[in-house]
């Protein structure tokens, strides 16, 4: 995917477009869409070839985002995308200087603890699913800790039966990395029920099929989770990622080794998984105070 740059069609502009296409190569479709949008907004704002962009332009754009009222997380994401592009351009020798390296990203408050649902919350949300497909989707989100992009692309051929009425699922994660997870018998039974009721259950058919015949889109999946959560009485804007958070937190609460949770969720760093052990602590030094 190329990012349109509002400048005359020159050799410089074409070279910039080529750099951006190389930088995006290998990223997921969702990441390409988001990064392209962020870079396009930046280039539109500065209205200069990449080689002529200075540190001041980064600062000006950061101030512009603040004036627009962008959340710190949004500011950080957009700046990080452009910084990544400039780092890549400098690394391959296209840009003489990596001016983005001097930019510090805004601090983002860690609100992970606020986004972890209780086990009974998960039960309540699943119970509000309107169809068998939606119920299985919600349960699989929680059982696997999968990302939205991973479940939009899962096909029946990725499901394989295992012993004791269990099963396994292969998920295509970030960076094109495949990981395989064991699924408990209860989830496997639901998946097989969904398969038996579907007219399209060949290995190349999507597990979660839309009415038009293809895989459910990211937007459709978000809507399914949001509607079920609202029907269960939650006024927070609960997203599919909350179910992923719940998987990690509840598994650790029940004694799952942190490295196993890391592998299941496809985290690159153990530090990322370890955040969940601090988001809902069982101990605090305050219990030893006389208050």
| Tokens describing residue 108 | 């983002």
Alpha helices in 92-217 (DSSP H): 119-126, 132-144, 148-152, 185-197
Residue 104 region, left (φ>0) first, then alpha (ψ -120 to 50), else beta? beta
d(Cα 244, Cα 228) in Å, to the nearest integer?
16
Question: Hey, what long-range contacts does 5-11 have (CB within 8 A, 24 or more apart)?
Answer: 5/40, 5/43, 5/44, 6/43, 6/44, 6/47, 7/47, 7/48, 7/49
With contact defined as beta carbons under 8 Å apart, do 76 and 108 qualify? yes
Give catalytic residue positions: 147, 174, 241, 244, 267, 276
């Amino acid at each position: 995917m190329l990012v349109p740059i509002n400048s005359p069609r020159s050799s410089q502009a074409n070279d910039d477009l080529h750099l951006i296409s190389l930088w995006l190569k290998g990223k997921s479709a969702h990441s390409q869409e988001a990064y392209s949008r962020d870079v396009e907004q930046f280039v539109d704002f500065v209205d200069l070839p990449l080689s002529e962009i200075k540190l001041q332009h980064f600062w000006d754009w950061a101030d512009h985002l603040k004036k627009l009222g962008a959340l710190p997380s949004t500011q950080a994401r957009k700046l990080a995308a452009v910084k990544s592009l400039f780092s890549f351009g400098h690394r391959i020798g296209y840009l003489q200087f990596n001016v983005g390296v001097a930019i510090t990203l805004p601090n983002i408050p860690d609100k992970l603890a606020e986004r972890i649902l209780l086990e009974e919350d998960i039960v309540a949300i699943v119970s509000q699913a309107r169809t068998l497909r939606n119920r299985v989707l919600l349960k699989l989100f929680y059982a696997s800790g999968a990302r939205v992009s991973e479940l939009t692309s899962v096909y029946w051929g990725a499901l394989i039966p295992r012993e004791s009425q269990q099963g396994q699922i292969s998920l295509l994660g970030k960076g094109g990395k495949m990981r395989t997870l064991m699924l408990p018998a209860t989830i496997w039974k639901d998946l097989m029920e969904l398969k038996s009721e579907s007219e399209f259950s060949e290995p190349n058919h999507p597990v979660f099929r839309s009415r038009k015949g293809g895989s459910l889109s990211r937007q459709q999946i978000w809507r399914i989770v949001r509607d079920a959560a609202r029907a269960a009485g939650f006024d927070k804007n609960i997203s599919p990622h909350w179910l992923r958070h719940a998987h990690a937190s509840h598994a650790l609460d029940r004694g799952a080794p942190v490295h196993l949770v890391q592998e299941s969720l496809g985290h690159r760093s153990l530090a990322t998984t370890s955040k969940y052990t601090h988001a809902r602590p069982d101990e605090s030094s305050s219990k030893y105070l006389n208050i």
